[in-house]
Structure 1
């Protein structure tokens, strides 16, 4: 038996949640929309929240139409469908609405997964815990922030968003994300695990970076401890702990980038063979 629990919450003070979580049949998905920086024209009348909700809907539709289709194909066709949903917008801009995507599906005796951009998949297999993320975006951000400090004003004007990152969107040598280019799906990280027996997972977590930060930036939990919180106390408790840690960090003046982020977590607890 597989039990799925999930929670999502907008960042404090933010009018809309730009994350999403969904389950349709045997597919679970977590998405994180890219917040638009002030003063940056996206070429689109829609925002990140709209894009995330629409992409989640299209993913569910594509999966329902063919539940056995490879996850990369499902994502590519969903991106294409959303592109067709707003043909009057200029979707050639690298700042067009976009989202990171994490998908998990149990099918034909296996778990398939997909990770695109900086979402995190956490797997517990035979007592060992592994976190999988697509670190190409983080590599670009790290490189840009190490560049000569002549862009401090631009960094401040963008509310902590690193200027120049859009020059690396959906291109070789940069990073790949769900936006207006279906080919980005081909660059997602994918894999499979047996659904039962040796090498099968007992817990799987899907996290946006606003939830994964409990481990990788706030440092309040380890990955095994995060899985324990998710399965024992639930995703809402994980988000509560993140918010509390963010408030402590912000009060201490140690903020780099956004003081809060939308946070979403889903956990699959496998108690018997599927």
Structure 2
């Protein structure tokens, strides 16, 4: 087995709001990977005393433990339990009903000798490569399908779309959101490679159109995850230096995380 993990903040003087881990059980049978992308809040109140990195560290730590220690619990249930555990850690000090309480996107995978399970919630991504080289992207595209007019302001998003029917869902304070995730199970012999990534690393495909998902995976396999992130940074700097608004909107530089696992 080969695994590789790279996580880099968008700016060196800003905290990284992503979380990533690879868990290998003591039995040596199977493993799991966890990737979270913390949602950067606006410069207004969030109802919480804690930072986004505090939240992703607690949620990611819980997910890493639960996905390895409870192999018979489905990933959606593991996410639900991890959210409940994290919420309990600050429910007495913070207003968890606030729409901007700390939250994150989620990409999970777990493998055993028999099967590969996956879960994706919001705009992190999971790539699954078959033995014949076919690459399938597991995506939760609800946010991408929303009309741009509906995303015109944070107030509109929070009032009408964030963790609401007809909008999109993130892992925040409500364990029930885990049931909204994209999930599935594949036979183990149908999966050769897994890669989980945050949208900062997905920019290579989704924003800058350097190639498709199969090209993305080939680059990481041949040159490494750091080379992928370095190329994204070059493209971001070039776009900003050209005096153009960032392609597709959003931050010029975003936290970028990649977890790669050859099974």
Aligned length: 251
- Farther off after superposition, 90-99 or 165-174: 165-174
1:32-111 alignment, distance < 5 Å: 32-38=37-43, 40-87=44-91, 88-111=93-116
Between the aligned partners of 2:116 and 2:23, the Cα distance in structure 1 is: 15
Q: How far does residue 177 in structure 1 lie from its aligned partner after superposition?
A: 0.8
1:1-274 map, 5 Å = 2-25=1-24, 26-38=31-43, 40-87=44-91, 88-125=93-130, 126-140=132-146, 142-145=148-151, 162-167=154-159, 168-196=161-189, 200-252=190-242, 253-255=244-246, 256-270=249-263
Query: Do 2:62 and 2:82's aligned partners in 1 also have CA atoms closer than 8 Å?
Result: yes
Q: Provide the secondary structure at the position in 2 that maps to 1:46.
A: coil
- Distance in 1, Cα, partners of 2:252 & 2:147: 18
Task: Report the aligned-residue RMSD.
Answer: 1.5
The one-character-per-residue Cα deviations of 1:63-102 (angstroms, maximum 9, x if unpaired) are: 2431221000000000000000112100001110000010
Query: What is the alpha-carbon distance in structure 2 between the residues aligned to residue 57 and residue 170 of structure 1?
Result: 23
CA distance in 2 between partners of 1:211 and 1:3 (Å): 20
How far apart are the structure 2 equivalents of 1:164 and 1:244?
Answer: 33
Unaligned runs of 5+ in 2: 25-30
The TM-score with structure 1 as length reference comes to 0.87
Q: Residues 14, 100 of structure 1: CA spacing in aligned structure 2 closer, same or farther, 3 A cutoff?
A: farther
**Which structure 1 segments of 5+ residues have no match?**
146-150, 156-161
| Per-residue Cα deviation, 1:183-236 (whole angstroms, up to 9, x for no partner) | 00001001112111xxx1222211100001110111123211110111111111
Q: Which residue of 1 aligns with 2:28?
A: none
> C-alpha distance in 2, partners of 1:234/1:53?
25
CA contact (8 A) 1:140 1:165 kept: no
The alignment partner of 2:50 has SS state of coil
